[in-house]
């Protein structure tokens, strides 16, 4: 690890570690405050949303949400490297008793930019086509609002020119583009558009994929993934608000290099740590709930028999750390 772990352990407990990262149970504000300056390449996280109905994982009230989240973002900025980034996924919500949207995610953005000196590098929108219709009152019952299936994802940076390479996250070509690349002269002739934008011969070059847009269509339909399958076999409850691994994977690939440090300060089921591990990045995750910390180790024990996984979880729950 590139980070001095003993500095973090003074206010948190090491639950488990791999060759690249560590899950630490503790108060994220205290842990972030101990992070060395200019030490983190990327923070990527999904904080609890300020939903009207209280959730088991402890979402914040809407009117307190912006100030609460800004505390974490301020400490994260201090720990970021000059070319580092903060990617934060924030879902929407309705105001209490009204079919009117809360503006918490937009107020959060303005606070982070205006008060904390972050730059908005780009806004992304995560479309979850598998999301169930909600809220029930306005969508299912009264049928006066459409289903809410998009989260805002703010890509914020410490400087105007953060580390980034969109070429790392190219997407498959469309069928029409594949036909063009196979026989460019048949389907396309370079010409100057009315806008004076000159599309040259390079348009027919195969770059291994198309550049992505800022609309990320990623279904959150993981009902049978390894984490949930194992929890079901163990008769254990999983974290109720998991984002799909493809979401942090996209930003880790675009904004970091192998060996860089990725941190998630709302670790939950540790999807971010698993994504970073898969990509050869160093990682740290912070989570205050001991149960979620212990159960997230399942993500790193996919090749172990069920009794060994149960023993590992029990080892963590008894107050020990596990070497994975």
What positions carry a catalytic annotation?
46-47, 89
* Nearest of 4, 1, 21, 78 to residue 286 by alpha carbon: 21
Q: Please state, in angstroms and rounded to a whole number, the distance separating the CA atoms of residues 274 and 152.
A: 22
β partners of residue 152:
90, 125
Q: Residue 264: helix, strand or coil by DSSP?
A: strand
CA distances in angstroms from 275 to 69, 135, 299, listed in the order given: 24, 30, 10
Whether 81 contacts 41, CB under 8 Å: yes
Q: Please state, in angstroms and rounded to a whole number, the distance separating the CA atoms of residues 13 and 20.
A: 17
β partners of residue 215:
125
* Nearest of 275, 254, 91, 244 to residue 157 by alpha carbon: 254
Q: Where are the alpha helices (DSSP H) in 34-121?
A: 62-79, 104-114
Residues in the chain, overall count: 324
Q: Residue 323: helix, strand or coil by DSSP?
A: strand
Both tokens of residue 231? 């929890």
- The angle that helices 62-79 and 104-114 make with each other, rounded to 10 degrees, is 40
The phi and psi torsions of 250 (rounded to 5 degrees) equal -55, -50
Angle at 262 between CA 252 and CA 280, to 5 degrees: 65
């Amino acid at each position: 690890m590139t980070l001095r772990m003993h500095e973090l352990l003074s206010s948190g407990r090491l639950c488990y570690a791999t060759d690249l990262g560590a899950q630490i149970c503790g108060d994220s504000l205290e842990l972030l405050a101990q992070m060395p300056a200019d030490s983190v390449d990327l923070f990527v996280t999904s904080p609890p949303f300020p939903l009207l109905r209280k959730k088991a994982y402890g979402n914040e009230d809407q009117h307190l949400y912006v100030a609460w989240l800004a505390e974490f973002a301020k400490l994260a900025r201090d720990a970021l490297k000059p070319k580092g980034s903060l990617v934060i996924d924030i879902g929407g919500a309705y105001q209490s008793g009204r079919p009117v949207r809360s503006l918490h995610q937009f107020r959060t953005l303005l606070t982070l930019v205006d008060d904390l000196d972050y730059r908005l590098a780009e806004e992304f929108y995560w479309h979850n086509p598998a999301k169930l219709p909600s809220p029930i009152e306005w969508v299912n019952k009264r049928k006066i609002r459409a289903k809410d299936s998009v989260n805002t994802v703010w890509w914020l940076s410490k400087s105007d020119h953060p580390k980034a390479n969109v070429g790392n996250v190219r997407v498959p070509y469309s069928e029409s583009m594949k036909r063009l690349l196979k026989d460019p002269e048949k389907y396309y002739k370079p010409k100057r558009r009315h806008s004076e934008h000159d599309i040259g011969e390079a348009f027919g070059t195969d770059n291994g994929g198309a550049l992505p847009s800022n609309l990320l269509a990623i279904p959150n339909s993981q009902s049978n993934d390894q984490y949930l399958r194992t929890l079901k076999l163990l008769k254990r409850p999983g974290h109720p608000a998991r984002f799909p691994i493809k979401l942090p994977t996209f930003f880790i690939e675009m904004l970091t290099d192998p060996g860089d440090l990725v941190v998630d300060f709302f670790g939950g089921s540790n999807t971010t740590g698993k994504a970073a591990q898969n990509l050869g990045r160093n990682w740290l995750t912070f989570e205050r709930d001991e149960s979620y910390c212990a159960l997230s180790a399942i993500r790193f024990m996919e090749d172990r028999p069920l009794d060994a996984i149960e023993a590992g979880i029990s080892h963590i729950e008894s107050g020990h750390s596990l070497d994975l």
